[in-house]
Amino acid sequence: MIYAIIGDIHSNYDALAAVADEIRKEHVDKIFCVGDVVGYAAEPNLCIDLTQQLCCKIVAGNHDYAVVGKFPVSYFNKAAKEAALWTSKQLSKSYKDYLLNMPLIEECNDITLVHASLNRPEFFDYITSFADAQLSFDILRTPLCFYGHTHVPSALFLNHGSIQLEKGHVFDLNNVEKALINVGSVGQPRDWDLRASYAIYDSEQKIVQIKRVKYDIHSAMEKIYKAGLPKENALRLGG
């Protein structure tokens, strides 16, 4: 099976549409999303529509829950909070109901999906240390978990009780007991590479590839300005 995994779209439809075009060329069997479809940028409705069309499984991110009052916006910085409140006003009841009913964790075959940590997923804690990773590994029931939240692609491997951090674009899961793979961000990368990020997983070869896609950043930025959203949300896209 060939899987594509996307996440942290953050209402950036220009980026999502570009990623969708590339994924279609990959002839994947299934597409998953690790959450944060909305937040920050200016096209939440279009992003929800396209994500629903593309993905067979989607888990909730903190921004998805925040715009429907299921996660407190008081945890956000000023720009993120303003965007969440603005986004809430753009969504019809049907879209809000969809976000409200997003699960926190999904499992499919040998894959688990979560937005942040598997430990207390409703708190959306960041995995920033081996201790954080261990808490998720202790809960993980499948060999592989895809997640997001930090907007930075990486891999954490567990072997014989030892955790190893890997960075790069290709992760070989052969001879790995368990793995946590961060797929990066479609709509707001934070690893100094401005291109949209997503992952392709070949379950037979047991290889994960992080793919990058150019998109019209200027268009996405202009839409944020035009919507009256915080300028920081636009400037962040340009580095």
Give residue-wise pLDDT tens across range 12-37. Answer: 999 999 999 999 999 899 999 999 99
Picking from 118, 128, 137, the residue whose alpha carbon sits closest to that of residue 179 is 137
With the C-alpha atoms ordered 133, 134, 138, 144, is the resulting torsion angle positive or negative? positive
Task: Give this prediction's pTM.
Answer: 0.97
Distance CA 187, CA 218 (A): 13
Give residue-wise pLDDT tens across range 72-127. Answer: 999 999 999 999 999 999 999 999 999 999 999 999 999 999 999 999 999 999 99
Domain ranges in the chain?
A: 2-238
Q: Which two tokens stand for residue 63?
A: 């921004």
Q: Which two tokens stand for residue 84?
A: 């969440």
Bridge partner residues of 29 (DSSP): none
pLDDT of residue 136: 98
Mean pLDDT of the chain: 97
Level-2 CATH architecture, domain 2-238: 4-Layer Sandwich (3.60)
